[in-house]
Structure 1
Amino acid sequence: MTMQLRHGAFSYLPDLTDDEIALQVRYALDHGWPVSIEHTDDPHPRNIYWEMWGLPLFDLIEPDGVMAEIAACRGAFPRHYVRVLAYDARLGRQTTALSFLVQRPAHEPGFELARTEGAGRAQAYQVKTYAAAAPPGERYAD
């Protein structure tokens, strides 16, 4: 069994269908949460700032506009991770209320856990993504 990147809500479930994605987007919109779409080819767990696809989508009441933007992002970046984020601004700041993947590359090379020993035999660990060994734009080649 191949391990997949686990990122955001629903990450241990099978990939969501477009109908299931639309239902989650509707849930976010029903709660008044603006939605944005982001993509990356460097899914390192500490890489929380992905590239935004367009501007956040405010004042929508139907998921159709979001689904069209997801399709456009997928078409432009077929080998990137694509995620949807919904923001709750009730506390006066932008708080992520919901985040989930809507696309992943067909092949995910995974991560390396590197261990080093320091002074006093202290162990330090570093997570490196195998994908980042290739330059941007050449990662996740078919």
Structure 2
Amino acid sequence: MRITQGTFSFLPDLTDEEIRLQIDYALSQGWACSVEFTDDPHPRNTYWEMWGLPMFDLRDAAGAMQEVRACRTTYPDHYIKVNAFDSTRGFETMRMSFIVNRPAVEPGFRLTRTEDRSRIQRYSTTSYASNAPEGQRYGAKG
């Protein structure tokens, strides 16, 4: 199952050159970029781990690409995304977010249905990867 979160998630994976072009576009709009990673891509997990600090003063995509490569080297079996946000109004508004790294195998999610009072059906999703301990979910050996 391919995780589809953020901009471009239904397209084939972006090449590094395509990623650089998207970062260039974000910077041309005056947006700040950041890099985040996780091994738990549940749709409600909106707060991924930050890789470094947001790059508010970045003017060239090469700096963000350097951070993407460093994060990939450290966490090759994690999901990694680039965020671009606009802080011109005094608060951060997400303008673009896209995945730039995925584990080789994406096991997907299990849908669990339970019956509640008055035969009400409740549904929840759980990542198959979350059966393994954090840091060992996508092939990393502990």
Residue deviations 1:44-101, cap 9 Å, x none?
1100000000001122221000000000000000000000001111332111110000
The DSSP-based 3-state class of the residue aligned with 1:68 is helix
The DSSP-based 3-state class of the residue aligned with 1:47 is coil
Q: Specify the alignment match of 2:106 in structure 1.
A: 108
The TM-score, its normalising length taken from structure 1, stands at 0.96
Q: Specify the alignment match of 1:27 in structure 2.
A: 25
User: Aligned equivalents of 2:49 and 2:89: distance in 1?
Assistant: 25
Aligned residue pairs, count: 140
User: Aligned equivalents of 1:23 and 1:103: distance in 2?
Assistant: 16
Q: Structure 2: give runs of 5+ residues left out of the alignment.
A: none
User: Aligned equivalents of 1:55 and 1:89: distance in 2?
Assistant: 15
Q: Specify the alignment match of 2:137 in structure 1.
A: 139
User: Aligned equivalents of 2:31 and 2:123: distance in 1?
Assistant: 37
Q: Specify the alignment match of 2:124 in structure 1.
A: 126
RMSD: 0.9
User: Aligned equivalents of 1:134 and 1:37: distance in 2?
Assistant: 24
Q: Specify the alignment match of 2:58 in structure 1.
A: 60
Instruction: Give the letter for the 1:48 counterpart.
Output: T
User: Aligned equivalents of 1:81 and 1:126: distance in 2?
Assistant: 22
1:14 deviates by: 0.2
Deviation beyond 6 Å, 4+ runs, structure 1: none
